[in-house]
Amino acid sequence: MIAHGRPRVLIVGGGFGGLYAARALRRSDVDVTVLERGTSHVFQPLLYQCATGLVSEGSISSPLRHLLRKQKNARVALGEATTVDPDARVVTASRFDGSTYEFTYDYLVVAAGMRQSYHGHDDYIQYAPGMKTLDDALTVRRKLIAAFEMAESLPNAEDRRPWLTFAVAGGGPTGVELAGQIRELAIRALAHEFSSIDPGEARVLLLHGGDRVLPSFDKKLSAAAQKTLDAVGVETHLGVHVTDVTGGDVETTSKAEPKTVTRYDTRTVLWTAGVEAVPFARQLAGALGVEQDRSGRIAVESDLSVPGHRNVWVVGDLMSYQDLAGVAEVAMQGGRHVGSLIATDLGDPTASRQAFRYRDFGTAAYISRGHALVQAGPLRMSGFLGWVSWGVIHIAFLSGARNRVGTLINWAATLATGSRRERAITFGDPETARRPYR
């Protein structure tokens, strides 16, 4: 029974799941609050293109306040959810300055997403940035561009070699896309811009523990991806785990006996090997009395609600349901489903709820120009046709007409000129920017 006016829906997270849940409630008589750690909705599938200079950060992110500006029953709050009290129906969040404030709710939708996992080696973070946030993408861009610039300034090939060696940990879609784009950056965009070095000599190592890249794809598509990686010059090392990362090299150990240890001299290691739940997920699971899986995901009922808590749902990457992958389309459909359930629940709280049914519109991966993979049910596409389909899919899912048009223009300009203009590097903050390099 709600006795305080309009029902309050609190959505934690402004990614695909949170945004689509909010939009599904635009005609409902509720007050919707979207609590987000950052100010923007980020299109994570194209982060690697931001990192390699194809698109700007503005092309793949849209301010949440702008996206929801016409939804009169919705507001956006900037903060990071830290604790939840399910009895009092209160979520506490931290502000930028460390102070806290509270949000009461009648319905809670948690779409907080996942973060990069270093499998117990968080010390790797300082040397091997991930690929989950805009900060990650800009850090990777800085490391990539700076590596070529450093190599250009060094007097001999031996000194240049570690700077022109790039190691990518993880052979899933993000790792494969990132490795392919580093080689494409080197052999196309930078090919004629340096005097002392040949960027085409850049060595890109793709390090993966499985027996094939893109294990979530059909074996034939995986083989097609490997063929393209070989053609653009990516060195793929399968069946190995990264067992050490330093500022000057990366170590791998083979899974098979004998355990062969190999070290590669490199100044640039990029990490895409696995994800884990955000810190709030653990507190949420403890407060609700539910368990998490090895990655921290929370198991949900068929309607995506948390067991024993009819008014709390988990959607997107953070939910564990029917082995669904942590991809954008799962989050979109899950958010939309939960929003519609809340709208129905407002009319009849005791009504039976429809189970979530995921419609698989496919997954895709971009390897290099003219080569991408698309897998949707029985449909399998690769090569040029897959590349065109990949582009259509990603443009359709970008938020905002301005971002769609801007990204299309960037892609067209890159195809026409071979250049990548989004290569400005930042130093992180004004204090760091004012310091000498060392």
Environment class of 25 (CB within 10 Å of its CB; exposed 0-12, middle 13-18, buried 19+): buried
- Judge whether 7 and 346 are in contact, CB under 8 Å: yes
Which of 36, 149, 158, 177 is labelled catalytic? 177
Q: Is the dihedral of CA 142, 148, 152, 153 positive or negative?
A: positive
Structure tokens at 322: 């029917």
Interacting residues of 14 by C-beta distance below 8 A, sequence separation 6+: 34, 36, 38, 40, 41, 64, 76, 111
- Judge whether 239 and 255 are in contact, CB under 8 Å: yes
Active-site annotation holds for 177: yes
Identify the bridge partners of residue 74 per DSSP, sorted by sequence position.
32
User: Closest Cα partner for 356 from 327, 393, 331?
Assistant: 331
Structure tokens at 223: 């083989």
Measured CA angle at 363 (ends 358, 369), to 5 deg: 160
Residues known to be catalytic: 177
